[in-house]
Amino acid sequence: MEENKQYTLFVYSENHIGVMGRITNTFTSRNLNIDSLTVSESEVAGVYRFTIVTHATASLMMLMSKRIERQVDVIKAGYFAEEELVTQEVAMYKLSTDVLTDGMEIERLLRKHSGRILAVHKDYFVIEKTGHKVETQALFEDLKVHGVFEFVRSGRVAISKPMVLFQEILQDVEEEAKQTS
């Protein structure tokens, strides 16, 4: 049996209504959960990039990416294992202002975790930390004893280590699309 591992799937697509649904439907139809999902415009104007983290086998990831690439509005889809990626996430934590003024503990934690304060209000303040999931989670665990009103973590953003230029892929796809018409 092939083992389930964490993979990061990337999808380059047109920015059209319903594309996200078509991509997530592909997961639903395989009874597969999405761990995190981030969408943003890519280096090519008008082309959007999805970064989707999931747990599956390598062969299923291959099928999934081809299945997603089959969608008319999708330009390219592929996937990477953990070691092939540089990744980052951002997390935010909302706590009572009382704990900030109550001794040195918060200052110590901010220095330890390289967090920073984004906003201070008379009732609450907001800490931000970027890093891997384990790092933002570790700060959360340390802050928990002080009472965290809200904790939120973004989806993963990831850059692949292999040197592949999307512009070149896009050029190839466009050329093939033209030739066949």
Partner 1 sequence: MEVVSKNKSNKAIKPTAIKMSGADAVIRSLIDHGVDYIFGYPGGANMPIYDSVYNMSDEITHVLARHEQGAIHAAEGYARSSGRVGVVFATSGPGATNLITGIADAHLDSTPLVCITGQVNANLLGSDAFQETDVTGITSPITKWNYQLTKKEEIVEVIAKAFYIASTGRPGPVLIDISKDIQFEEIEYELKKHEYIRSYVPYPKLNIEELKEAAELINSAKKPMIIFGQGVILSGAEKQLKELVEKADIPAANTLLGISALDTDHPNAVGMVGMHGNYAPNVLTNSCDVLIAIGMRFDDRITGDLNQYAKQAKVIHFDIDKSEFHKNVKAEVTVLGDAKATLTNVLDYIEKNNHSDWKAEFDKLEAIEKEEIWDKILKPSEGKITMAEVVRDVSKMTDGEAVVVTDVGQHQMFASRYSLFKQTKSFISSGGLGTMGFGLPAAIGAKLGAPNREVVSFSGDGGFQMTMQEFGTIMEYGVTVKQVVLNNGYLGMVRQWQDLFFDKRYASTPMMSPEFGKIAEAYGIEYKKVEKREDLQAALQEMLDCDKSYLLEVAVQEELNVFPMVPGGAAVTEVRLK
Instruction: Name the site residues for partner 1 (rule: CB under 8 A).
Output: 13-14, 17-18, 21-22, 25, 28-29, 59, 62-63, 66-67, 69-75, 170, 173-174, 176-181
In angstroms, give the least distance from the CB of 48 to partner 1.
Answer: 11
Q: Judged by CB, which is closer to partner 1: 114, or 171? A: 171
In angstroms, give the least distance from the CB of 12 to partner 1.
Answer: 8
- DSSP at 4: P
- The residues pairing with 92 across neighbouring beta strands, listed in sequence order, are 128, 152
In angstroms, give the least distance from the CB of 177 to partner 1.
Answer: 5
Pairwise CA distance, residues 43 & 108, whole Å: 39
Are the C-beta atoms of residues 151 and 127 closer than 8 Å to each other?
A: no
In angstroms, give the least distance from the CB of 117 to partner 1.
Answer: 40
Q: Judged by CB, which is closer to partner 1: 72, or 145? A: 72
In angstroms, give the least distance from the CB of 23 to partner 1.
Answer: 10
Segment holding 51, helix H or strand E: strand 47-56
Are the C-beta atoms of residues 92 and 85 closer than 8 Å to each other?
A: no
Q: Judged by CB, which is closer to partner 1: 101, or 181? A: 181
Q: Judged by CB, which is closer to partner 1: 63, or 119? A: 63
Instruction: Say which residues have a Cβ less than 8 Å from residue 96's Cβ, sequence separation at least 6.
Output: 123, 124, 146, 147, 149
Q: Judged by CB, which is closer to partner 1: 39, or 92? A: 39
Pairwise CA distance, residues 121 & 137, whole Å: 24
Instruction: Say which residues have a Cβ less than 8 Å from residue 158's Cβ, sequence separation at least 6.
Output: 8, 10, 51, 80, 85, 86, 87, 88
